[in-house]
Structure 1
């Protein structure tokens, strides 16, 4: 009888890396790409009176054609699956490490730390893709496509040239993932305990959406710096660049592109968590004890 109680009440083990990797990969989404183009255009605008989100969108459509909203999409299409996969796979791996494979309780601090380290891991994967995307999204871009960007960057700076902006990308993902996963942990602890699968879905959607918003608030200044450094390859360090932009263009410049970014990432963060949790539940069922 006691064995049965232990079996049904023991805390499930964290999923193996391969399963969290697959869940993240399948959950990747890219349908809101035009918002990313608008965001980048706003971030690259160094004027003190930049156009708003709607006007930037209109300008792109009327001056360059609707297809320009999808210029450079191949790079994020190739990036999204491994990016999401590494995000959740690394979060699961670091979480297992910091909790001694689930033996210690996941606290708010551990959730934030786990997210930050997952973001740091993710940044190594996405930097080359981000550089290619930014170079293609720039209004004055003359590159013919992703391969042309890679060819010219490598010819000029060598293979490591594809990692220009790595440091700022590191901080962008460090703060977004810390805010995202940390908020998810906190919001879930405040929400009523889900008694049904539908209630659990609502909780995941709410927690992921809030997490996406918090992560975006935290990392947008670093995203602004990253976009500019990857376009111009100045080699400037992130935090001095933050101070310089705030001094030259005002503090608000650090949040250029925030509206399209948060519209994309806040609900996207909710859907992402929803899908990952659903897939994780399927994987746990297939694996059986001790993962359920």
Structure 2
């Protein structure tokens, strides 16, 4: 029997879902705004938990990027240097803006990805969408990340300032207000260009590689997603998320370094963000732009695997089945 699109079977628009007869007494799955709100909640929790848990790694990565002349003996030694000079509490610097910022970003990113993917399927039709699913993964994730970054940028600017200047403020609220008071609202978006160049390629690689990895692993094992046990699903999400995270980390590393640099201090009077970025890129060179790559691979690989795992589990708890963790079903 040919496959056909059935939105009742899969409300998040899985490609080529086989038609199924719903039991009359079964509870109707959420749709519309209710469905996407559940995706957003799952994404917010996944990103907040993973980024918050990896704050110490992020602190070390940022310090290596900002002060390579001091932290120049690898990630483990950088941990030791920070603890020795500032105490173990320094590893949690920026935890507040990290959790809040990435909760907001995760809601926009995962919820937006599901929304824009569904819009693309509706526009192109199921068969054409399935044939061009990689392009849809890339386009939907890129659009979702753009809007997510608008919300994330002020909190990321605050986080980097707290990490780079530990005496700048005591926490999220005081740091945010000090930047606003002394430098104006524009300071929060000084790194908007770098964060777009960092996050959009990162997110496009993250979702596209994840989706393709899931699809290829299922093909190799000759299994269908719905036939997997909970343990097998967990393993699939972790392995695919890890592969996606590694790819995304490499692609987004140069922009991540520039983002850290541009948010470390305010620019000179009259100096544009573009000129600052060009100057920094020339000074750093290709090798400098990949400073802290080991720490970032550990961080991004781990958190991406964790995000897809948490996202899938929360979706199931909220009855928001399908979506990003479901690979395309072949004809």
TM-score when normalising by structure 1: 0.86
Give me the whole-angstrom Cα distance separating, in 2, the residues matched to 1:173 and 1:221.
Answer: 11
2:312 is equivalent to residue 271 of structure 1: no
2:92 is equivalent to residue 92 of structure 1: no
**Per-residue deviation, 1:10:** 7.3
1:210–1:175 Cα change, 3 Å:
same
2:11 is equivalent to residue 13 of structure 1: yes
Give me the whole-angstrom Cα distance separating, in 2, the residues matched to 1:206 and 1:97.
Answer: 28
2:39 is equivalent to residue 23 of structure 1: no
Give me the whole-angstrom Cα distance separating, in 2, the residues matched to 1:7 and 1:185.
Answer: 19
Give me the whole-angstrom Cα distance separating, in 2, the residues matched to 1:27 and 1:20.
Answer: 11
Alignment of 1:25-104 (within 5 A): 25-28=44-47, 29=49, 30-45=52-67, 47=69, 50-100=72-122, 103=126, 104=129
3-state SS of 2:193 partner: helix
Structure 2: gaps spanning 5 or more residues: 13-30, 323-331
2:247 is equivalent to residue 214 of structure 1: yes
Give me the whole-angstrom Cα distance separating, in 2, the residues matched to 1:89 and 1:144.
Answer: 32
Alignment of 1:1-292 (within 5 A): 12-14=10-12, 16-28=35-47, 29=49, 30-45=52-67, 47=69, 50-100=72-122, 103=126, 104-105=129-130, 107-139=133-165, 141-192=167-218, 193=223, 194=225, 195-197=227-229, 198-234=231-267, 235-237=272-274, 241=277, 244-284=279-319
Give me the whole-angstrom Cα distance separating, in 2, the residues matched to 1:273 and 1:83.
Answer: 15
Structure 1: gaps spanning 5 or more residues: 288-292
**Per-residue deviation, 1:7:** 9.9
For each residue in 1:78-101, what CA deviation from the matched residue of structure 2 results, as whole angstroms up to 9, or x when unmatched? Answer: 223222222101111111122227
CA contact (8 A) 2:65 2:260 kept: yes
For each residue in 1:177-203, what CA deviation from the matched residue of structure 2 results, as whole angstroms up to 9, or x when unmatched? Answer: 011001012111211234322322221
**Per-residue deviation, 1:284:** 3.5
Give me the whole-angstrom Cα distance separating, in 2, the residues matched to 1:200 and 1:73.
Answer: 30
**Per-residue deviation, 1:248:** 2.6
3-state SS of 1:99 partner: helix
**Per-residue deviation, 1:164:** 2.1
For each residue in 1:189-239, what CA deviation from the matched residue of structure 2 results, as whole angstroms up to 9, or x when unmatched? Answer: 21123432232222111111111111111111101101111122334228x
1:92–1:260 Cα change, 3 Å:
same
**Per-residue deviation, 1:141:** 4.0
Give me the whole-angstrom Cα distance separating, in 1, the residues matched to 2:141 and 2:54.
Answer: 24
**Per-residue deviation, 1:134:** 0.6
3-state SS of 1:143 partner: coil
CA contact (8 A) 1:168 1:237 kept: no
CA contact (8 A) 2:134 2:208 kept: yes
What is the alpha-carbon root mean square deviation over aligned residues? 2.8
1:225–1:8 Cα change, 3 Å:
closer
Give me the whole-angstrom Cα distance separating, in 1, the residues matched to 2:192 and 2:177.
Answer: 19
3-state SS of 2:210 partner: helix
**Per-residue deviation, 1:139:** 4.9
TM-score when normalising by structure 2: 0.76
Give me the whole-angstrom Cα distance separating, in 1, the residues matched to 2:42 and 2:235.
Answer: 19
CA contact (8 A) 1:245 1:254 kept: no
* Number of positions where the alignment pairs a residue of Structure 1 with one of Structure 2: 282
